[in-house]
Amino acid sequence: MPSHRFTFSGPLTGRLRVPGDKSISHRSIMFGALAIGETRVTGLLEGEDVMATTAAMRAMGARIEKSGETWHIHGVGVGGLLQPDAPLDMGNSGTSTRLLMGLIASHGITAQFTGDASLSKRPMGRVITPLSQMGANFDASEGGTLPLTMHGALPAVPITYRLPVASAQVKSAVLLAGLNTPGITTVIEPVPTRDHSERMLRGFGAELKVEEVDGERVIRIHGDAELKPQDVVVPGDPSSAAFFIVAALITEGSDLVIENVGLNQTRAGLIEVLRAMGGQIEELDRREVGGEPVADLRVKHSALTGIDVDPEVAPSMIDEFPVLFVAAALAKGTTTTSGLDELRVKESDRLSAMADALTLAGARVEERGDGLVIHGSGGDPLPGTSGVPVTTHLDHRIAMAMAVAGNASRKGVEVDDTSPIQTSFPNFMHLLAKAAA
Ligand code: S3P
């Protein structure tokens, strides 16, 4: 378990580029593996989570290779997945697990899913319920967790499913099961979540329609689909850029350009909230990359003011709360967040993990059932930790958020385990050291 003390090493300046979007990377491998012919992907995130997806798709018959900067995927066709002959090791990745459960649900194969200690605590009932309605069968561990074995259904039965939680993973699992299901599978989404599956499935040639009915999104996918191979360019991950956006905002003297950041509306909530707190974030050269809006972001040190964060923006920044809490700890006045029950079932319980970590670093935090209330320092550096390191609970975003806090602290912040950062942002520590040098 490599621990690390993150200390102030200077304002963030210059230009940097964050790795490819994790959600889009997973999907490009999965959809490429279901197309007939060769899909080429550039800008793929080569973190452990995406590599878990890659290994699983290989185990089910796809040929996936890298040459130069391009990944080449030779798919098996929808319906063509093969029975894996060993358990699928999902590592730390909820996205791999839930989306692959969807894919396999409408294939006549049996697969076992395993994962690390963090993933093995996370709820899978949310996908087991709709996929069972489609005909799949599950032997899960107590509480609907991993390790679990699933028996796909062939043919599966199309359903209409209204999402009980705002979750792009659950939405995607049902849509992916629908790909190899005769008829039309419908997902009703009362609260919009990231729409990469919809955009990309359409790009790969699936017949997928989205309609707005009484304020809800109704998504219909036609089964027995045929996917056509694509050239995919993966834009930079806004959820990775988030750490550098906040680090630049809270560190005096910073003026940083983060290039090629994906700005899909369903992902851009953090920027909106930070601007409302007084953050200077400028979009340069807005353009399209791989069918997604992208810009370079110029971020300058700013005096932030605490706000009440509207729970309605939560789905569009669901992975950014740990680092927003760090921004709030440095702001003037109080920041209140609510409606964040979902944060308790991420890679860790992010409300309790961040309340504990920020308190250890000297911030003033109150933990509530569904959010945190943070009384900011008014721009003064946090005291930092001494003695006891903060605990990351196998959660990459806790580690990176507290690294950012360390750069805005007097004594530095000691993080117990930096290895989870490999799941989503392998060169994070290198980029942080370089930008702050
Ligand atoms: C993801 C959806 C979100 C997010 C995760 C990636 C995706 O999860 O937290 O990091 O790629 O679909 P939920 O669907 O559980 O909110």
What's the average pLDDT block by block, 10 residues per block, for the chain (437 residues)? 95 98 98 98 98 98 98 98 98 99 98 98 98 98 98 98 98 98 98 98 98 98 97 98 98 98 98 98 96 96 98 98 99 98 98 99 98 98 97 99 98 98 98 96
Please identify every residue annotated as catalytic. 319
- 28 in helix, strand or coil? helix
Phi, psi of 15 (to 5 degrees): -130, 145
Residue 95 CB less than 6 A away from ligand 1: yes
Q: How many residues does the chain have?
A: 437
Exposed e or buried b per residue across 91-126, where buried means at least 16 C-beta atoms within 10 angstroms of its C-beta? bbbbbbbbbbbbbbbbbeeebebbbbebbbbbebeb
Residue 395 CB less than 6 A away from ligand 1: no
Q: Whose CA is nearest to atom 9 of ligand 1?
A: 319
Residue 424 CB less than 6 A away from ligand 1: no
Atom of ligand 1 nearest to the CA of 168: 14
How many whole angstroms separate alpha carbon 72 and alpha carbon 36?
12
**Structure tokens given for 422:** 């490999």
Residue 169 CB less than 6 A away from ligand 1: yes
- 335 in helix, strand or coil? strand
Write down the pLDDT at residue 1: 87
CA of 268 to the centre of ligand 1 (A): 14
Write down the pLDDT at residue 182: 98
Q: What is the location of CATH 3.65.10.10 in the chain?
A: 4-20+235-436, 22-233
How many whole angstroms separate alpha carbon 294 and alpha carbon 329?
29
Task: Tell me the H-state helices in 361-410.
Answer: 396-407
Atom of ligand 1 nearest to the CA of 315: 16
Residue 21 CB less than 6 A away from ligand 1: no
Domain formed by 22-233, architecture: Alpha-beta prism (3.65)
Please state, in angstroms and as integers, the Cα–Cα distance from residue 29 to each residue in 20, 65, 76, 79, following that order: 13, 11, 12, 16
CATH label, 4-20+235-436, candidates 3.40.640.10, 3.65.10.10, 3.30.450.90, 3.40.50.1370: 3.65.10.10
Write down the pLDDT at residue 105: 98
Q: Which value, in Å, is the radius of gyration of the alpha carbons in the chain?
A: 21
By most ligand atoms within 8 Å of CB, the mutation choice from 22, 23, 396 for ligand 1 is: 23
pTM above 0.95, yes or no: yes
